[in-house]
Structure 1
Amino acid sequence: MHGKIIRYSISIGSGVVTNASKKIFELRKESWHDTRFLPAVGMYVEFRCDSNGYSITDAKASNYQDFPPEALIKEIDFWKTDTDEELKQKEQDLQNQITQKIYKETNYATLRAIAASSSVQDCLKEYFAREFNTIKFILEDNDTQHSSKINYLSTKRFLLKAMDYLVFTDRNITMDTFASDLQKLNKLEYSYKNFTKNKNINFEKIYESCFLDLQYNYRGAIKAILSTKEKILQLNNKIKGSIYEIKQIKTKLENKKNDEKNLHTKLESIKLTIKKSEEEISALRQTLQNLTHLSEEFKREHFLTFKAVFKRFYELLINKTIEAMDICASSFDDKIWKLGMGSMAIKNMFFKHNINESYCAMTFLGQYLRRLDKNKLSENEKATYNYYYQYKQTHEKKFLIFTTNQKLEMALKIQIMSLSKNYSVMIVKKDGEFYTHINQQKFELGYIDPYVDADIKQLIEEAKSSKYNTDTRFAIVSKEQIATLKD
């Protein structure tokens, strides 16, 4: 029967469907059998139940998800039917009515061209409407101008690891916090996998259902072709019947026992009928030839366009889906970073291991890559490795902290990395380390503990004269600030 999902949780894999009578049915992920879409709230579905009439045993997304004013099928039609097959039949009946109207109003004997009822682009937009709408909704709901988007396909494993570790470590944060983000990403990845695995696309089949079925002028011409063939067949049968009558009349004339005058009159009438039928057949054959040529040309020419545009749409959808995944993953990662940097549990558990990068997916990815043997990387690992370091070179900003005070180190580290997930810190405890690092890399800002065992003035002068940190500002932490630090 037909229904609509009113509640669904991807994290627990269950939800609720209601039908036209507002009856409630239980939907579990094991009962979902759709290769194109994941279940989502608001989705119209086609489903079957078990004998208890409550639990759904088989469900999939309905082919009818939107009911715009200009559509042939209205939402009320959806609720009045049990299956998409019934809806499709109703839609075909309405399409046939339109075709019949065009057929009656068109003079096919003088037709010189078949006009497209809908463009290839419009038909394909309708065909991929759900995919485009999903991407549009997600892009509208997220920051598309994200300055440092992450690559979802490269970081997925570490994005989920960062989330899992956060939920496990901080009992105040649950999976429900990320349910919306996970659902968006699962939807997009589901579509992406479906796009990329369909290598052998049956263009002819899609062309028939997506384009030709909506070409009412073309369908009218096809109907005219069939009707013309039927008329020619009828006229040929009529001629055969007339020829048989002529033979009978001639037999009667040979007997010379019948009314010859009436027979001759009837004979001439039949011959005239044959002549008119032959003339009509000739005209019909010309019409048939013209209509066949026009319909074949229409089908052939538009198929070439359809195939080319379909490929462009397909490629565009794949690229847009990847873009949407990256945007969603970046927003997801931002949420993890903000929650992680504000979590006391993460501060005490994660950052106590001398980790000097923000709590985010790229930090977990970096930890993984540093454990690999660089001489034994697979092709995928090499690609991920290159992506990671390119991302770091583009977006990472480093801050220097010179202190031996653990409290100050942690306080400054958390303060800095809470400003941006692309901020990292370099901790130095001796003046020799300080000089080494300022001569090797650029720092956005340096913090110096006033209690360090070194000449602070000389440290700053050396930094200002270095190759990379001429313009870098160095701040000396106040003694009052240090005195207020808590564990």
Structure 2
Amino acid sequence: MHGKIVRYLSSNGKGAVINLSRKLFEFTKETWHDKKVIPAVDMFVEFRCNEAGQITDCKASKFQDFSGNSMISESEFWHHETDEQLETLLSNKRDAIVQKIYKETNYQKIKEITLDIKPMESLKRYFYQEFSAIAFLNDLYLPKNKYLYDYTHLKRFSAKTLDNLLYSDKTIPKDDFIEEIGIMTRLESAYSDFTRYQKVNVENVFKDHFLSQQCHYQALIVAINNAKDTSNLCQKRINAFNSDILLLERRIQAKVDLEKNQQKLQKVRLELKKMIEMESYNSNLCKYLLQIKKHFEEHYFKIFTSLYEKTYERIYKKIKSGLDICITLLNDKIYHKVLKSVALQKNFFKNANNDRVPTMIYFIEQYLEHLNKDRLNELDTLLYHYVDKIRKKHRKHFLIVTTDEQESTNLKLKILLQNELYSVKVAYKRTLYFSLINEITFEKIYIDSAHIWESPEGLIQEAKAFKANAKTPFEIFSKSVSTNRFGF
């Protein structure tokens, strides 16, 4: 039967459908059998129930829009059990319109075919699911000048990054990420479907989704077929009349019923003349209408093909851009929740070895660190170059010199809050400090004057001796003033 989704939670995949009688039916992600579409509130659906009234099969209806040029009304949707019944109704309605146009049109005088549905309108219907997916992007807010990550590279690390956050901090519900995940899932479905559009024969799409919707064009086809059939019938009658004439002429030559056969011959010749005229009329009409048909097809096929390519490219870019936005926003939300998480502050960030925020880029870097750079496959090679480019552009290194664990954690969080890609090292002993200032060029080095093994001046002098940090600025702080001196 037909219904409409009135409630849906993407977190657990459960929803409710209302039917014509305003009765509610529950469905789950297991009973949703439409891979191309993600359930959404106000979506029209076709579903089946068992004897207990439980939904066993639910999917999006092919009929979602009942405005504008739609031949099916919402009332008809509710009063028909299946999409198949609606398609039959639609076909019957279109046939009735075609017949009406055919009967009311003088095909001897027409110069061109009236356009019923514009090429762009037919393409909107053809790409309906993709346009619907793109519409969800309007609900997303992206800060100005925000750097967009590439979905194709980050996608396979998104689940691990989110799972790490949810596992590390049990107080964060997965529902906090419903909006981004829901829109991304819908866009992913549209994105994966685009592979089939690459192999599509545009001429077939033109015939099935444009010409088939043109009632005046279909009426012309009826006129052409009728003219052709009439012409063929006339030709058969002409052949029959010619045979009759030969037979009658032989009888007259043999002087068999001479007067009677002469009258018949005259009558047959008269009928033959009329039939030749009728055949000529229908044959010429058929040729004339075929020319109009050919011109219509060639003219609009050129327009349709151009629009198809432009629409395909535009939708593809929109979906790809939308996925980039979604993965960026999801990553950004994880980033901020990680930094605000008390559980992660007490465990992850207290560890001096954890110098970055565990976002998607962090897990990509971890993944690449364990691979042999000389034996990377094509996908990992692209990933490596992508991340390396980001690091070179955005990565900045900072160093905190202190033996106070809490002080280093607090300052580390403040620095990491400035940028997701920053790296904050902590030197809590001399050997580690010596190693770090020799290997890494730091953007800034912070020295806790109250918790170090020697004077700040000695540490600064030691760092300046290395080429890597000869020009690095230093900031000396103590616990009593650390909150206000760094401008965070």
Q: TM-score range by the shorter chain?
A: 0.7 to 0.9
- Does the 8 A contact of 1:142 with 1:328 survive in 2? no
Aligned length: 479
Partner of 1:36: 36
Structure 2 matches for 1:201-220, cutoff 5 A?
Answer: 201-220=200-219
CA deviation string 1:110-159 (max 9, x = no partner): 44444544343332122112312311322442317462222223222332
> For 1:437 and 1:465, how far apart are their aligned partners in 2?
10
Give the secondary structure class of the aligned counterpart of 1:147.
coil
Structure 1 residue 460, shift from structure 2 partner = 6.3
Structure 1 residue 391, shift from structure 2 partner = 1.7
User: Structure 1 pair 126/246, CA: closer, same or farther in 2 (3 Å)?
Assistant: same
Give the secondary structure class of the aligned counterpart of 1:107.
coil
Give the secondary structure class of the aligned counterpart of 1:351.
coil
Structure 1 residue 469, shift from structure 2 partner = 7.7
Structure 2 matches for 1:302-321, cutoff 5 A?
Answer: 302-303=300-301, 305-307=303-305, 309-321=307-319
- Does the 8 A contact of 1:246 with 1:270 survive in 2? yes
> For 2:389 and 2:75, how far apart are their aligned partners in 1?
54
Partner of 1:341: 339
- Does the 8 A contact of 2:407 with 2:479 survive in 1? no
User: Structure 1 pair 140/463, CA: closer, same or farther in 2 (3 Å)?
Assistant: farther
User: Structure 1 pair 106/145, CA: closer, same or farther in 2 (3 Å)?
Assistant: farther
User: Structure 1 pair 279/368, CA: closer, same or farther in 2 (3 Å)?
Assistant: same
CA deviation string 1:50-106 (max 9, x = no partner): 333x22233322111222334222222211212222222332333334434443444
- Does the 8 A contact of 1:4 with 1:42 survive in 2? yes
Structure 1 residue 431, shift from structure 2 partner = 7.5
Q: Which moved more, 1:126-135 or 1:151-160?
A: 151-160
- Structure 1: gaps (5+ residues): none
Partner of 2:22: 22
Q: Which moved more, 1:155-164 or 1:143-152?
A: 143-152
Partner of 1:2: 2
- Does the 8 A contact of 1:31 with 1:58 survive in 2? yes
> For 1:435 and 1:336, how far apart are their aligned partners in 2?
32
Q: Report the TM-score when normalising by structure 2.
A: 0.84
> For 1:273 and 1:112, how far apart are their aligned partners in 2?
32
User: Structure 1 pair 256/181, CA: closer, same or farther in 2 (3 Å)?
Assistant: closer
What is the letter of the counterpart of residue 331 of structure 2?
Answer: D
- Does the 8 A contact of 1:396 with 1:423 survive in 2? yes
> For 2:266 and 2:164, how far apart are their aligned partners in 1?
100
> For 1:177 and 1:483, how far apart are their aligned partners in 2?
31
Partner of 1:381: 380
> For 2:35 and 2:168, how far apart are their aligned partners in 1?
36
- Does the 8 A contact of 2:3 with 2:46 survive in 1? yes
Structure 2 matches for 1:70-469, cutoff 5 A?
Answer: 70-114=69-113, 116-143=115-142, 145=144, 147-196=146-195, 200-236=199-235, 239=238, 268=266, 270-300=268-298, 302-303=300-301, 305-307=303-305, 309-353=307-351, 354-429=353-428, 433=433, 437=437, 440-441=440-441, 443=443, 445-451=444-450, 452-456=452-456
Give the secondary structure class of the aligned counterpart of 1:16.
strand
User: Structure 1 pair 269/326, CA: closer, same or farther in 2 (3 Å)?
Assistant: same
CA deviation string 1:234-270 (max 9, x = no partner): 5446656766887898869956597x6xx87776455
- Does the 8 A contact of 1:435 with 1:463 survive in 2? no
- Does the 8 A contact of 2:101 with 2:216 survive in 1? yes
User: Structure 1 pair 465/114, CA: closer, same or farther in 2 (3 Å)?
Assistant: farther
User: Structure 1 pair 247/483, CA: closer, same or farther in 2 (3 Å)?
Assistant: closer
The share of aligned pairs that are identical, in percent, is 33
Partner of 1:12: 12
Give the secondary structure class of the aligned counterpart of 1:480.
coil
Structure 1 residue 413, shift from structure 2 partner = 0.8
Q: Report the TM-score when normalising by structure 1.
A: 0.84
CA deviation string 1:290-319 (max 9, x = no partner): 222332453355445544543443343333
What is the letter of the counterpart of residue 379 of structure 2?
Answer: N
- Does the 8 A contact of 1:431 with 1:459 survive in 2? no
Q: Which moved more, 1:374-383 or 1:127-136?
A: 374-383
- Structure 2: gaps (5+ residues): none
Give the secondary structure class of the aligned counterpart of 1:31.
coil
Structure 1 residue 425, shift from structure 2 partner = 1.5
Give the secondary structure class of the aligned counterpart of 2:72.
coil
User: Structure 1 pair 6/277, CA: closer, same or farther in 2 (3 Å)?
Assistant: same
Structure 1 residue 409, shift from structure 2 partner = 0.5
What is the letter of the counterpart of residue 27 of structure 2?
Answer: L
> For 1:143 and 1:234, how far apart are their aligned partners in 2?
69
- Does the 8 A contact of 1:31 with 1:56 survive in 2? yes
- Does the 8 A contact of 1:13 with 1:29 survive in 2? yes
- Does the 8 A contact of 1:439 with 1:467 survive in 2? no
> For 1:204 and 1:86, how far apart are their aligned partners in 2?
28
Give the secondary structure class of the aligned counterpart of 2:350.
helix
> For 1:144 and 1:210, how far apart are their aligned partners in 2?
39
What is the letter of the counterpart of residue 75 of structure 1?
Answer: E
